[in-house]
Every structure is written in C-alpha cells, then in structure tokens.
Chains A and B, each alone.
Chain A
Amino acid sequence: MMNLLKDNRGGQIFLALLAVLTIFIPILNLGMPETSPFHVSTYTVTLLGKYLAFALLALSVDLVWGYMGILSLGHGAFFALGGYAMGMYLMLQIGDRGVYGNPDLPDFMVFLNWPEIPWFWNGFDNFWFAMIMVALVPGLLAFIFGALAFRSRVTGVYLSIMTQALTYALLLAFFRNEMGFGGNNGLTDFKDILGFSLQADSTRIGLFIASAIALALGYLSCRTIVVSRLGRVAVAIRDTEDRVRFIGYRVDKVKLAIFTFSAVLAGIAGALYVPQVGIINPGEFSPLRSIELVVWVAIGGRTTLYGAVLGAFIVNYSKTYLTGVAPETWLFALGALFVLVTLYLPNGIVGLLKRKGEEA
C-alpha cells in the first residue's frame, strides 16, 4: 500500500482528506445538536454521499480514458445498470408497503397488470445476490462489447460513437414498459435496505461511509492497476497502439481487462448512488449524462485519478449550486467548461496546480 502512495502527493492528500471527511461528517451530523453551527444536516450528508458515488464513477472513466486512451461515451450505461440492480433489490424490499399493497409485485407491475414477477427479477430479494449482479451485469456487458470492439480494432472516435450508441440503445430499451424495469418512471419509492429505513439519519450516514470506503478502495485498486505491468502496457497502448502490438503484447486483452474492470467500478458507483437519491430511471442512460462525466474528468485533470475525483466534486457542486440559483445558466456554464477546458486546460485543474507548483 505504501508503494502505491510513494511519490504520489496528490493521492496522499486525497486519501487523507477522504479519511477526515469520513470521520468528522458522521460526528458532526449525529453528535452535534441541530442548533449548533457545527451541525451538518442530513441533506448535506446525502449530497456528499452522492458526490462520492460520482467520484467513483469519474475514477472509472479516468482509468480507461486517461491511462488507455479510450474515450467512453457510454460509461453512464454501466453506472445505470449497477443502479438498476440495486434498485431491483430495494424495490423487492418494499413488500406490501407499496401503494397497491401487493406483497409479491412491485407497484408498477401491478399497475401494468403483470400476472407475476418476470424471471429476471428472481433472486433480487437477496442482498448479496443483488450485489453480485451490480458488478456482474455491467462487467458482462463491457466484456461482450469490449471483446467485439477491441478484437476488430475499433478505436478512437469510432469507439466513442459506438459506446454512445450503446447507451442510447439502452436508453430507448429501458423506456419501454415491456422491459419490466418500470419504463419511464424507473424504480423508486424505496423503503429500506438490509432492514434499515432509508429515511433514518443513521442509514444515510452508513451509506455515506460505505461510499467513502468504496471510493478509497476504488482509488487504491485503480492505482494498483496503474503502477502494475498491466497499467504500463495500457499507457503504452494509449501512446502507440501499433508498436505495442508489434512488440508482442495482446492489445485487445489488455484493453478488455481494464475496460471490464472500469465498468464494474461504474456499476458499484451506481449501486451506491441509487439508495442515496432514492430513484433510478432511464434518464441515467442518456448520452448527455455520459458525456457530462467525461467533463468531470477533463476538468479535474486526467491521468491522475485523484484529479477525476476533484473534477467530479467541483462540477457537481457547481451544478447543485447553479441549478438552484439560476437554472438557465447551467447549460451555458457546462458548455463553456467543455470548450475552455479542452482549449486552455488540457491537463485540467490538477495540471494547472502542478504547473504553479513547479514555477514557485
């Protein structure tokens, strides 16, 4: 572990901050009376928890984009699939407390006159089965898609457009009521997770801590990959793919391994996101969402991992702030960020800080 953080100031600072956050936020939320100026509201805790899930998602994008040169415009799809797997578990925990009070069927199925629960919902009432699916479903999709794409050497913008088409196709599919995932409305109205009520402050804190731990582990595992031989080959592929292939490496296998791992990370991020926001719907598949998260990475600074985390926090905080204060300016701001960062900040904020540091 020390090895991973040696010569990695940014990573050290990031993990230290994350640890401080994880220890003090719960204390400030549960320990302080609500009147105290140091009290952190549950709303803020949930918001931070959401950002942590986004940060994990940004990590997964940075891993494939920063270190392997694959600009995926479809990572939102893996995130959403993980989210849906979690949502299905949460949906089945509602039991007979739904609007229709049907103990076997979720509300939307009663509403659509489904006679029984479809086969692919089987097993999702078990938490651990659902957790396996959270990783397995996005991983499997990435594996199949990647195996096809990398073997036939679809690269660059073609690959980007294909990933976009993938998430677009899933978006259309999940909008259909016949798919059995709640159609347009998605899955919502969750009650509890593992027996703990989702409305309780302690559960929120628990989810926040879980997200923080997942992010820390995600960061360390990405770091492990990056410093390993596999990671070095990946960087070499990013820089000159053909040369790596001629040297004798199986480029497609390296890509496939890292791409699949990244999709699993994105799926886990989705699973952490859903119980905190309380809804998952097909909107998460929209191509816009996937491109947006590429910007998080670009703004934070790619090929640093912690830069992606920084970007996710900054962009999402601005989004929360701007859509609250002046909603019509948000798209202007986001659009301008895209243009300015690509033109003037190719290495993102981290790059800017590093340059400042070297000058000083």
Chain B
Amino acid sequence: MISLSLLFSSSSFAETTNSESFIQALVQLQSKSYKDKGKAIEQLVTTKDERVQSILEAMLKARLFYTKEDKVTVIGKKHPDGFSLKSVLNQKDLGVLSKSKLKKIKVNNKLRGILRAKIASLSLSSPNANVRLKAVKQMFGKTDKAIITALKIHLEDEKDSDVKNKIEVLLRINDLNSSDKVVQLSAIKALRNDLNPETRNKLEILKDSPDAEIASASKGALENIKKKLGFYENVNTAFFGLSLGSVLVLAAIGLAITFGVMGVINMAHGELIMLGAYTTYVIQQIMPNHIGLSLLVAVPAAFIVSGSVGILIERLVIRHLYGRPLETLLATFGISLILQQAVRSIFSPLNRAVETPAWMAGSLEINPALALTYNRLYILLFCLAVFAFLFLIIKKTSLGLSVQAVSQNRSMARAMGIRASRVDALTFGLGSGIAGIAGVALSQLTNVGPNLGQDYIIDSFMVVVFGGVGNLWGTLISGFTLGIANKFMEPWAGAVLAKILVLVFIILFIQKRPRGLFPQKGRAAES
C-alpha cells in the first residue's frame, strides 16, 4: 500500500518542475561516498531550487532517508511504528514505514560543516530582509567556522541595516573566542551594551580568564550589561503591571459610572462582564471563519447585550431601591447569582474556549531582553480608548451633562426639566454596556466561565473605592497603580501574597482616606 503511494508520488513529481540537475543531485545524495555527497550538496545549491534548504536541514538533523525498495528520497519523522514520511519534492505525506525498510543518508563531521554553511548562506540569500533577519537570529549560539565565513562573505553585500547590525554582533561574539588578544578586547568593548544571552555566557567565561586585562574588561562589560538588563526587567514588570492595570480599569470603569456617579451598588457588575465575554463566544460560534472580525463585531454586540440587561435590572429592581444602598447590594447580588446559574444552565458549567485572532498573537520585540506581547499591548490601548470614549460621553454629550446634573442634585435637575428616571436607566445601561465591552477584552486573557464575574467584582470595587468614588480619572489612575504595585510585588512575594498585600493595603488606606485617592469636592461630596 505504502510503496504504491510512494510510486504514485514518484510518478507525480514529473508534474512539478524538477530540473534535470536537481533530480540528479538527489540521486547522488544516496551515494555511499561522502565525497560524492559533498558534490551533490554543491550541485543542489547551484540549482537555486527553493526545496533545497529543507532537504539540507533534514540531512543535517539525520532525518533524510531513502526507501530501500524504490530509492525515493524522503524526510522522516519518528513515529511509534517507525517513521512518518514526507516527500522531499512536494511535502506530501507518504504514510508510515518501518525502520527496516528505510536507509538513512548519513553525514560525517565534514559534511555537517558544509551543510551548516550552505543552509546559512541559503537563508541569507533570501530577497526578503525579514527572512534574512530571522535567519541571522537563529544562528545565535549555533555558529561555527563555516557559518562565520558565510556571514563574513554575506556582510559585504548586505544592504539592510538591521540585518547588518545583527550580523556584526554575531561576528563580534565570535571574536570573543579569538586567540588574538587585541581582537578579543575590541570585541568586548563593542559588546558592552549587547543584551544577547550568548554574549553574557561568553563574558561570564572570559571574566575568569588568566589574562588580567581581558578579565577586567569582561567584568566591566558584564556589569554594564547586567545594569541594563535590570532596567529592562523593570520596564517589563511595569508593562505587565500596566496590562494588569488596564484589565482592572476595564473591569472597574463601568462600575465607576454605576457606583461612582449614580451611587448604586451593583454586585451583578461582574456578571455583566461575564455576559460580554459570553457574547464574544457566541459571535465566534456564529462566524467561525472570521475570528479577527468577530472580535470587532463582539464589541458593539457585548455593549448592547450587557447594556440592555443592565437597563432591565434597573427598571425591574434597582429603581425601587434608590436611597437604600444596602438593600440594593443584596438585591443585585441575588441577580448576579441568577445570571451565573443561567449561564451555567445554558452554556454548561465548563469554561468555553474563545479563540484569539492571529494579530493578537506574538510579541513586539524591542531588544533581546524586552518583548511586549501583542495581546497585552492591544488591551492596554483598548482600555485607554474605552476610557476616552466614556470620558467624552460624560463630559461632552447632553446625556453626560444630564447624568452629572442628576447625580449632583436630583430635584433641581428635575425642576430644570431633566427626566431623571430616564437618565437613571440610560446611565445604568451605559455602565453595564461598558462592563460588557470589558468582557470582550477579558475573553482574550482569561477563561470564559460562569465564575468570570465573581473573580473581578471585588477587584473592581477596590479600584473604584481606592480611586475615589465619582471620579473617572481616579479610577484610571488607581487601576494602573494597583496593577503595577501588584506586579512589582509578585517577584518577591508570589502572586497570591501580592494580591493579599494589595487588599490589606487598600483596607488600611481607606481608613486613612475614606474617600479615596481623589475625593470629590464641593457639594457633590456631601451625603
């Protein structure tokens, strides 16, 4: 069966354009003589065929075989029943074959050197600068004489400055091994600011060098590098803190409206966030082929879903409890239980998998010591955008002005013709809708499950109370402060203890300043 399919593929390679010399070289690779194999490699490279690189890489890793029966060259991968095979010609899967039916194309040390150099120069010859950069990056820590020579030759033709820099760093790291003291010293000097782990490892060795001059130079360079690394580590922690802070702000900002501006304790706020996350999930189920787009659709959808549930809650329950904050707290907590159980009954108590679009994956590499992941970066930006949006609504729209008027002096506002109860419903809907939007963002970071809301409700209240009730800026600053404080404590305290310490800190802080970081001033502060 397998040999049949092999035959089939060997007959089908006539269709893809296989130059005479490419095929010839492939056959020659199966030769027993290492000398012939070397020639075959040379010939393969001169064909400039794009499949050559993968063939050479497989050969280097001792994964290139040919079948004993019909001498087809294949790439093999370990499999319980032998090796699963792929055609070198068209990457087609050829099934699994037992080890006894295959012959490995062996390489010796000399050939390995040749292979490495050829692969290096092949990847460096790509017209795309990004591919070249990636190729150079992969060479870090794996250089040998052959590669260095290839790099030196390539450097003269290289136009792209990024690639050029990388190659130069690589060559300098190689110079650290030089037997010439002058070369070594100049390399150490040039690498004083280099953050590659490779450099650090080499310098760690050199710092114990018998030559006093080299030892002291390496020590100086190492200290400099470590200082820089420490700095970037702090930058990294701060970024993690900002990203945690942006999550906190997103979760709390809706609460800043309902609790801060309206004075309504909404314990179901967390569940409104959860509804937003589930909306994201449902929309992804509806349009499974457009994950990226679905996320953009989910933002307004979550706003509408959570917003309307919020308005419903306000009309049915909270409206009857204005001025009785403790009762509001209990009633909305009841609602949160109902929403949780509803989600559990509809979607199952297990976590749902929300996919992350491709553009959220990966990271922005600033230097070897600092890489910012895109999803955290986007959430930070998203958080700021949501904040700006909300801020503009409250400060610049007529709804926002009505909200402020009603929250400052309800009866006066009504006397001026503002329909206070309608404003209440809309404000609550706005705060709830923002919670839904937060849910969309959270669905990209954490598990989407019935307990999602519970995990954030206490944190959200802490952020609002810490920042000062009725103050959007306070919420923003307190969210980021708590996030950064949390992340900076984590390395020495551990994640859980850091969280406990933050909670204890807030409890103590509230004793000192019961109205938060930025208390309201003037008449609004009364009550």
Contacts and interface: CB of A to CB of B under 8 A. Distances in A.
Interface of A: 71, 145, 148-149, 151-154, 156-158, 160-162, 164-166, 168-169, 172-173, 175-176, 287-288, 291, 294-295, 298, 328, 331-332, 334-339, 341-343, 346
Given A148-B511, A152-B512, A165 B506 contact: yes
Contacts of B340: 331
Interface in B455-510: 458, 461-462, 465, 496-497, 499-500, 503-504, 506-508, 510
Given A164-B458, A172-B496, A343-B320, A153 B514 contact: yes
A298 B327 CA distance: 10
A154 B503 contact: no
A235 to B, nearest CB: 16
A172 B500 contact: yes
Nearest to A65: B326
Contacts of A175: 496
B173 interface: no
B23 interface: no
Nearest to B527: A156
B337 A168 contact: no
A150 to B, nearest CB: 10
B350 interface: no
B321 interface: yes
B370 interface: no
B235 interface: no
B330 A338 contact: yes
Contacts of A342: 321, 327-328, 330-331, 334
B333 interface: yes
B500 A169 contact: yes
B325 A334 contact: no
A160 B320 contact: no
A336 B514 contact: no
A241 B503 CA distance: 28
B452 interface: no
Contact of A339 (B334, B342, B461): B334
B345 A162 contact: no
Given A166-B507, A295-B330, A338 B465 contact: no
B511 A149 contact: yes
Contacts of A176: 496-497
Interface residues of B, number: 41
Contact of B345 (A288, A328, A343, A346): A328
Contact of A157 (B265, B344, B504, B511): B265
Contacts of B499: 169, 172
B341 A335 contact: yes
A168 B341 contact: no
Contacts of B327: 342, 346
Contacts of B341: 328, 331-332, 335
Contacts of A165: 458, 461-462, 503, 506-507
B338 interface: yes
A158 B514 contact: yes
B333 A338 contact: yes
Given A154-B514, A160-B326, A172-B496, A148 B333 contact: no
Contacts of B506: 165
A157 B499 CA distance: 22
Interface string B158-171: 00000000000000
Given A160-B329, A338-B331, A346-B327, A169 B504 contact: yes
A172 B500 CA distance: 7
A343 B324 CA distance: 11
B331 A332 contact: no
A343 B321 contact: yes
A328 to B, nearest CB: 6
B336 interface: yes
Closest 4 pairs between A and B when the two form their complex, measured CB to CB? A338-B334, A335-B337, A335-B338, A331-B341
A247 to B, nearest CB: 22
Nearest to B338: A335
B317 interface: yes
B335 interface: yes
Contacts of A331: 337-338, 340-341, 344
14 contacts: A71-B329, A145-B507, A154-B511, A154-B514, A156-B326, A158-B465, A162-B510, A169-B507, A173-B497, A176-B497, A294-B330, A331-B340, A334-B334, A338-B337
B458 A154 contact: no
B485 to A, nearest CB: 15
Most buried by B among A166, A288, A338, A346: A338
Given A154-B514, A157-B326, A287 B458 contact: yes
Given A158-B465, A339-B335, 7 more contacts: A148-B507, A154-B510, A173-B497, A176-B497, A331-B341, A336-B334, A342-B328
Contacts of B496: 172-173, 175-176
Contact of A173 (B317, B338, B500, B510): B500
A149 B506 CA distance: 12
A63 to B, nearest CB: 16
A343 B331 contact: yes
A291 B458 CA distance: 13
Contact of A332 (B330, B338, B461, B462): B338
Contacts of A157: 265, 325-326, 329
Contacts of B500: 169, 172-173
Nearest to A175: B496
Most buried by A among B317, B321, B510: B510
A156 B510 CA distance: 13
A218 B507 CA distance: 30
Nearest to B313: A339
B306 to A, nearest CB: 18
Nearest to B259: A157
A71 B325 CA distance: 10
Contacts of A339: 317, 331, 334-335, 338
Most buried by B among A157, A160, A334: A157
B478 to A, nearest CB: 14
Nearest to B499: A172
Contact of B458 (A168, A298, A334): A168
B330 A334 contact: no
B334 A337 contact: yes
A71 B329 CA distance: 10
Given A172-B500, A331-B337, A152 B325 contact: no
A169 B296 CA distance: 36
B326 A152 contact: no
Nearest to A170: B500
Contacts of A295: 330, 334
A13 B341 CA distance: 38
